[in-house]
Amino acid sequence: MSRVSPVIIIGAGGHAKVLAGLLNAVNAVVIGFTDADTARHGETILGHRVLGGDDVIGTYGPDKVELVLGIGSVRPGPVRHDVWQAYKRDGYRFQSCIHPHAWISPDTEIGAGAQIMAGAVIQPGCRISENSIINTRASVDHDCSIGAHVHIAPGAVLGGTVQVGDGAHVGTGATVIENIRIGDGAMVAAGACVTQDVAANTRVAGVPAKPIGSDKSS
């Protein structure tokens, strides 16, 4: 993981804590966390302080610090996308985070700010777009295409040649068989088994997965 600047982690919740552990494992220089919850200001997490709210970031110029987006997602929605876009407009860069215990085929395309966590496996021919999470022990088989701002949750399994649209969420322990397309903003529930394409902004659950509603907010 190439770094040219120290990093600030946006958010101080569970996903941010896991990222701090990853960054510690690769000896990154972490300035600290930011978080909107004032009760957490001054707290120490894995050796790094919660510095204050996101306004702290403005005290560092975009040429002095890189950002790590520690806001996870449990459903599709615009939060990660909106935070990403706001700081990109201000000229900040987001650091890609790759755990040393992930296995990634050398030909994988990895976008800016992507996060690949411990135990993840990414096979040949895959593309992981910007600001997407391949979480703990998730498996992405050959020739998959993962859009921007996607969360592939812990333990999820994607068969070969799966396409996941921007802003989609594949839940913990879900399975997506080969050649499936998951549309933009779709949500696959935890433990689901997806055997048919999923339309944009649609929620699916069950074995086999079936639609349970739609989400127009994303």
pLDDT digits (tens, 9 = 90+) for 12-22: 999 999 999 99
Least confident of 70-79, 100-109, 180-189: 70-79
HSE-up of residue 26 (Cα within 13 Å, Cβ side)? 23
Q: Which residues are catalytic?
A: 142
Q: Which of 1-5, 47-51, 61-65 has maximum average pLDDT?
A: 47-51
Name the amino acid, one letter, at 174.
A
Residues 107-117: tens digit of each pLDDT: 999 999 999 99
Kindly report, residue by residue over 80-107, the tens digit of the pLDDT. Answer: 899 999 999 999 999 999 999 999 999 9
Q: Is 87 helix (H, G, I), strand (E, B) or coil?
A: helix
Q: What is the mean pLDDT of the chain?
A: 93
Mean pLDDT of 193-213: 95
What pLDDT was estimated at residue 79? 85
Could you report the per-residue pLDDT of 137-162, keeping only the tens digit for each? 999 999 999 999 999 999 999 999 99
Does residue 2 surpass a pLDDT of 70? no
> What is the pLDDT confidence band of residue 4, given thresholds at 50, 70 and 90?
low
Confidence of residue 165 (pLDDT cuts 50, 70, 90): very high
β-strand pairing of 133-134 with 151-152 = parallel
Using alpha carbons, select from 117, 209, 131 the residue that is nearest to residue 171.
209
The pairs formed by 39-46 with CB atoms below 8 angstroms and a separation of 24 or more are: 40/12, 43/12, 45/12, 45/16, 45/17, 45/20, 46/17, 46/20, 46/21
Phi-psi region for residue 140, left (φ > 0), alpha (ψ -120 to 50) or beta? beta
Q: Are 7 and 28 in contact (CB under 8 A)?
A: yes
Kindly tell me if the per-residue pLDDT of 3 is higher than 70: no
Domain edges within the chain: 7-71, 97-214
Q: Would you place residue 77 in the very low, low, confident or very high pLDDT band (cuts 50, 70, 90)?
A: low
Contact 111, 131 (CB under 8 A): yes
Helix (H) or strand (E) holding 33: strand 30-34
Task: Give the span between the Cα atoms of 30 and 176, in whole angstroms.
Answer: 36
**Domain 7-71: which topology?**
Rossmann fold (3.40.50)
Residue 208: cis peptide before it, omega within 30 degrees of 0: yes
Q: What pLDDT, on the 0 to 100 scale, is given for residue 213?
A: 67
pLDDT at 5: 83
Q: Using CA atoms, how far apart are residues 137 and 88, in angstroms rounded to an integer?
A: 29
- C-alpha 89/C-alpha 189 separation (Å) is 32
Q: Does residue 44 surpass a pLDDT of 50? A: yes
Query: What burial class does residue 40 get, using C-beta atoms within 10 Å of its C-beta: 0-12 exposed, 13-18 middle, 19+ buried?
Result: middle
151: helix, coil or strand?
strand
pLDDT above 50 for 175: yes
Topology annotation, domain 97-214: UDP N-Acetylglucosamine Acyltransferase; domain 1 (2.160.10)
